[in-house]
Structure 1
């Protein structure tokens, strides 16, 4: 169901406190924690003794301790201590996952074969470290398959209908916006430009525009996450295609991590550049963004419920579906690659040559 040999977002740095964090990721029940030395770790959420979830236990200096009989497990999954006995059974260990912390994001490697090391580094997200931006985020749970969320984020024409109170704007302008879709490798980019359009409420609350604005929406799809750069500037003051343009910016990080075949985690942050003549509006933008995403959540979950009611009903495509359809083809390609790799015969091992016999 999911592309493997990929990095997925498991959570954010601020979620790891003094307690274990349990989360189901790609049908794997995982417990995450941070050691006293600052090392982040992810283990299968099951004690190898009596199967209690390790997330029911406690985080200690060296690892996580089971809340049933007190077995202590290291970030590697190895059992470090069995209370009441000196000998630690050879099989006393639990499955571990590679967990990396970068830019306040927790990335987990989901291999096609257990125990295999990552083949490439976890992605960077420079926005979280850029002093020009302030950001805040959250984690939502969806009762819907993860690709329906991809579809929503790659088709921002819906803003004029779903998000009238926040980032919407004129629905006709959205549906007729200049649209360009680019694809390279496993990445898809959707570019939308709306010159001379009315700024929506979130924009006017955060930035002192003089009137209508030149507005842009740039969506970058990756298998595990999307980067969405939206914003606007007073008419004619900025080149909307200049990567260094000014104006009001909203840079969204959207990690869509499947929980199960039919549910998903939506882990997001929103960063904005405060205007020098206004007080920091980061909290306002965060609250408006959260409201926007709740509106999307209602739509997507209702959509999925209706898809289950009409399981064989055909769907048509319209012009705004180019980006979502490209992304679905990327997922299909990666799934096929996983299938081919899984079906490939194991490489032959060299046969040891017997030593020549010597007669005496």
Structure 2
């Protein structure tokens, strides 16, 4: 494991033409299971317009969002038992992208097909594979996320669209010291404790883990609204960065009642899933869910946690989009690193190395 400080931030938009803009040969988050209902869903992912839908047997499918006849987005069409029908002249395409019917014409042209993507559904997350030219097929299955099916947890999730590059969200999630300043109404707490918390950063070629402990803290509003703490608490923040998503386990227990090194520790848990998928160089999709372990009034407690989570993410969105707008206004003016930037810097280094090798 490496523990060096990392490298400076690199925010420049644009990349050499020979390199992909984003790491390839990865499973990226395309959506949540509940988004695929009775209509096709159009979404641009890694610069590629994609239409997502379910087949008659409930399996997710993804095609290029362009009819090969006159280029109308297939997401403007309708779903039928055998696939998606274009909303312009009615060509019908199956999950493999093959045209199955041309209304009023018996012969289907051999070139009447659209590219199809590998897509999987796991733990209510829809994953899509973006491969390089020499690795079009997935090298394995997408990652599991057990907290969406664990009986001890309840969860909800949603999607944000950001007018900002996706790595700014990585930066935000890997540096939770900002909680004491940005999220005073929800998950914040004492800013000094956040900025001075002991932080351990571990990394390898594809992941970064940031661990922060804040013993003997006053619980923030979100925590007291959801859990019957007796007084001060021992808080923890464990952030796992993966190339296409992050997993964040935050929570607290009554002070001096659990070991913060015990992976099975009790207390109030917030298990966040954060799928951060580029739309373009300068915009992205943020797929989030929050799971919690209610001790009483489960639905009411979950609702409180989700409500507070939405307030928190709304606050982050304002900050990140304002940050990016100002970065554009000031151009290449340099920025200074401080101690809380270690995890984000390492994640950026991993992204760049994978982009170079894609």
Structure 1 residue 185: deviation in Å?
2.7
What is the correspondence of 1:197-276 to structure 2 with a 5 Å cutoff?
197-276=217-296
Could you tell me how far apart the structure 2 residues matched to 1:153 and 1:298 are? 14
In structure 2, runs of 5+ residues without a counterpart are 1-20
Residues 134 and 241 from structure 1, CA distance in 2 versus in 1: closer, same or farther, beyond 3 angstroms?
same
Could you tell me how far apart the structure 2 residues matched to 1:268 and 1:136 are? 9
Could you tell me how far apart the structure 2 residues matched to 1:44 and 1:254 are? 25
Between Structure 1 and Structure 2, how many residues are aligned?
338
- Aligned partner of 1:157 in structure 2 is 177
- Aligned partner of 2:45 in structure 1 is 25
What is the correspondence of 1:1-360 to structure 2 with a 5 Å cutoff?
1-113=21-133, 116-276=136-296, 280-338=300-358
Deviations 1:64-98 (A, max 9, x none): 00011110000000001111111111000001111
Residues 329 and 50 from structure 1, CA distance in 2 versus in 1: closer, same or farther, beyond 3 angstroms?
same
Deviations 1:127-162 (A, max 9, x none): 101000000000001000000000000000000000
- Aligned partner of 2:8 in structure 1 is none
Q: Is 305-314 or 215-224 further displaced after alignment?
A: 305-314
Q: Which has the larger radius of gyration?
A: 1
Could you tell me how far apart the structure 2 residues matched to 1:12 and 1:315 are? 36
Could you tell me how far apart the structure 2 residues matched to 1:98 and 1:123 are? 15
Task: For residue 150 of structure 1, give the secondary structure of its aligned residue in structure 2.
Answer: helix
TM-score, structure 1 length as denominator?
0.92
RMSD of aligned residue pairs (Cα, Å): 1.1
In structure 1, runs of 5+ residues without a counterpart are 339-360
Structure 1 residue 39: deviation in Å?
1.5
Structure 1 residue 121: deviation in Å?
1.4
Q: Is 268-277 or 12-21 further displaced after alignment?
A: 268-277
Could you tell me how far apart the structure 2 residues matched to 1:219 and 1:184 are? 14
Task: For residue 144 of structure 1, give the secondary structure of its aligned residue in structure 2.
Answer: coil
Task: For residue 195 of structure 1, give the secondary structure of its aligned residue in structure 2.
Answer: strand
Task: For residue 281 of structure 1, give the secondary structure of its aligned residue in structure 2.
Answer: helix
Structure 1 residue 311: deviation in Å?
1.0
- Relative contact order: is structure 1 or structure 2 higher (C-alpha 8 Å, sep ≥ 6)? 2
Structure 1 residue 280: deviation in Å?
3.6
* Residues 25 and 135 in structure 2, CA contact (< 8 A), matched pair in contact too: no
Could you tell me how far apart the structure 2 residues matched to 1:277 and 1:83 are? 55
Task: For residue 304 of structure 1, give the secondary structure of its aligned residue in structure 2.
Answer: helix
Could you tell me how far apart the structure 1 residues matched to 2:37 and 2:339 are? 46
TM-score, structure 2 length as denominator?
0.93
- Aligned partner of 1:346 in structure 2 is none
Task: For residue 308 of structure 2, give the secondary structure of its aligned residue in structure 1.
Answer: helix
Q: Is 111-120 or 312-321 further displaced after alignment?
A: 111-120
Misfit runs of 4+, over 3 Å: 276-280
Could you tell me how far apart the structure 1 residues matched to 2:284 and 2:199 are? 28
